[in-house]
Amino acid sequence: MSLFDLRLQELHNKLHSKEITVSDLVDASYKRIAAVEDKVKAFLTLDEEGARHTAKALDEQSGSSARGLLFGLPVGIKDNIVTEGLTTTCASQFLRNFNPVYDATVVTKLKKAQSVTIGKLNMDEFAMGGSNENSSFHPTYNPWNQEYVPGGSSGGSAAAVAAGEVFFSLGSDTGGSIRQPASYCGIVGLKPTYGLVSRFGLVAFASSLDQIGPLTKNVEDSAYLLQAIAGHDPMDSTSLNTDIPDYVSALTGDVKGLRVAVPKEYFGQGIDPKVKDAVLTALKVLEAQGAIVEEVSLPHSEYAVATYYLLASSEASSNLARFDGVRYGVRAENPKNLLDVYLKSRSEGFGDEVKRRIMLGTYALSSGYYDAYYLKAQKVRTLIKRDFDQVFEQYDVIIGPTVPTTAFKIGSQANDPLTMYLNDILTIPVNLAGVPAISVPCGFADGLPIGLQIIGKPLDESTVLRVAHAYEQQTDFHKQRPQL
């Protein structure tokens, strides 16, 4: 058995008993990267020298009383989460030379937990995309079949875990960017409640929607990682000041009497029949364990995609205004004047998808169109959140597919942005409502993984993880690995 097949608890025990060292784990990670990275291309930057130095220092520590579960474990970081002294590009040519002078709060917390950063992971440029084809450096490939996309925008984060290059990774989720690639790559992806995990040091796409979360091989590992990164941060004005429960203790395997809502809108037109069958089978597994499963309606779900792309693009237009070729990032050569600096730097630095969203957002925020588009989208967002609130008055969780289909072929939707946007139709409402959700593997179709999405009440990650773990214990989909 490979070290990468072990749970975090099992690895911790081996480190504690000195069967293995941190250097052994780091060696295993880089050997695996050397073996499969040319097929997967999950990484943009590797920090082998820094990782080996950290591993050696951890191995030389005496005593193990203060060691947490993440001690010595190799982790990959999505490249829109800043890392001190380690290039953070957001997969954009605009930031190809950007070396941050500080760490994001989540990176600081992982360092405090004494994990080892292996490198920075590929993504869609500035987190804008659902396939990882929008990276300005190179696409990432799905480990299950390299002709297919790994999902996005956290495609590199998902592919690295699925391929066994790192034990876990961090991604960011604005409209499904953790859960969709987790579904496509057959791993576990958790999007926490908005504000539970600090966004300080996350390069902003859409500030009211972005959320950092873990991508792992199983639900238990996800609980351990969330435990390490959750909590109030005074550096983030949107951070929630709330008590953090013991997420691992919630994994009881007991869902008897739990009320599960199944939205009829999540099984309508566009859902692949194989995906639908796999999710319905998963619901029967939970029913057999004593859960009560009933159909409900989330009537405003059909407006979620339009609402999201107006709001997210508007916020992106505002957030990306800071990239002007003056303060940091790449500046165009030989500008004629200040306006030319802005125009040339942004024209050369941003890719097509980023430009598309900036233009859409700027239009929606412009005089004469603000009320018709942006303001109306905010009102519809409130209606979508109200749908969730009403369902959660009677039910504990909402369950459906993570995405309508399995992964699609690379290039098949590259020239059709509207079809690409519709891949997020089942994940976007969760971000608009600010609630937690997790994707867990629930089957395969034509050799590609299928994801089950479990949505919970605000700050009720414990129940979301409990249901996901209870389902996982009755299946072995999470144990299957791609053959690279």
The residues assigned a catalytic role are 78, 153, 177
Helices (H), 93-218: 105-112, 155-162, 179-185
Beta bridge partners of 212: 172
Q: How far is CA 39 from the centre of its chain?
A: 21
Decide if 147 contacts 133 (C-beta within 8 A).
no
Say which amino acid occupies 292.
Answer: I
Say which amino acid occupies 447.
Answer: G
What are the structure tokens assigned to 173, written together? 């989720």
Decide if 287 contacts 280 (C-beta within 8 A).
no
Decide if 125 contacts 95 (C-beta within 8 A).
no
Q: Are strands 116-121 and 397-401 parallel, antiparallel or unpaired?
A: unpaired
d(CA 457, CA 79): 29
Decide if 84 contacts 111 (C-beta within 8 A).
no
Q: Cα dihedral angle (197, 178, 260, 460), rounded to 10 degrees?
A: 0
Decide if 192 contacts 223 (C-beta within 8 A).
no
Rg of the chain (C-alpha set): 21
Q: How many CB atoms lie within 10 A of CB 303?
A: 17
- Say which residue the tokens 């009720």 belong to: 460
- Say which residue the tokens 């969330």 belong to: 226
Report the Cα–Cα distance between both ends of the chain, in Å, rounded.
Answer: 16
Say which amino acid occupies 261.
Answer: A
Q: How many CB atoms lie within 10 A of CB 234?
A: 10
